[in-house]
Amino acid sequence: MTFYPQKPPLTDDELQALLREAPIAHLGSVNPDGTIHMAALWFTYDNGDIVFGTQDMTNKVRNCRGNPNVTVLIDVEGPPLRGALIYGRAELDYEDVLAKRVALFEKYMPTEHAQGLAKTLAANWAPVIIRVKPERITSYDYAKEGWAQLGTATAR
C-alpha cells in the first residue's frame, strides 16, 4: 500500500480570505432517513460563524432542527483545488431576520436590490437565518508544494 500524503492546508490568513470572498457554500445536513441533504447557498462569514439565509419550510431547516450537526464546504473553482471543510452545529435564528438577510444579500448585489429580494422572499415564506458555529475546520490548497504538478508527473 502506498502512503497518500495529507494535502497542504491554507494558512490562517488564506482561510480568512477564502471565508470572506468565496461566492458559494455547500451546506450538508442529515435527512431523517440518515442520508445527506446538500444545498448550495449564498453565505457570509460573520465573527467566526458561517451565516445562511433561507425559508423556514426548507429541508435544510427541518434537518437542522432535528440534528444540528452540519458540514459546510466552501471552495473555489479550480484547478487547483482550494477550500475548507467546516464541521459544526447549526443554530436557527428568527430575530431581525429581514435585516440579516439584507446584509447577507449585500455581498452579492447593491443594497436596494438586496432589500427588495429580502422583502419579496419574506412576503411569501417565513425567513430564517442558519448560523453555523464551526467546531473543526480542515482546509486544503492543491496549488502548494507541487500538488498541481503531481498529475503531470504520474500521467505519463
Q: What is the pTM of this model?
A: 0.88
Nearest residue to 73 via CA among 18, 33, 32, 31: 18
Residue 9 is given by DSSP the state P
Task: Give residue 5's pLDDT.
Answer: 59
Domains and CATH numbers, the chain: 12-145 (2.30.110.10)
130 close to 58: Cβ distance less than 8 angstroms: no
One-letter amino acid for residue 64 of the chain: C
At 156, the pLDDT band (50, 70, 90 cuts) reads very low
Kindly give, in sequence order, each residue whose CB lies less than 8 Å from that of residue 45, ignoring residues fewer than 6 positions away: 19, 20, 51
Nearest residue to 19 via CA among 88, 65, 79: 88
One-letter amino acid for residue 90 of the chain: A
Helices in the chain by DSSP H: which ranges?
A: 12-21, 59-66, 97-105, 111-124, 147-154
Nearest residue to 36 via CA among 9, 64, 14, 4: 64
Nearest residue to 89 via CA among 61, 68, 59, 66: 68
**Of 23 and 156, the one with more pLDDT:** 23
**pLDDT value at 1 more than 60:** no
Give tens-digit pLDDT for 2-45: 555 567 899 999 999 999 999 999 999 999 999 999 999 999 99
At 155, the pLDDT band (50, 70, 90 cuts) reads very low
Angle at 63 between CA 62 and CA 64, to 5 degrees: 95
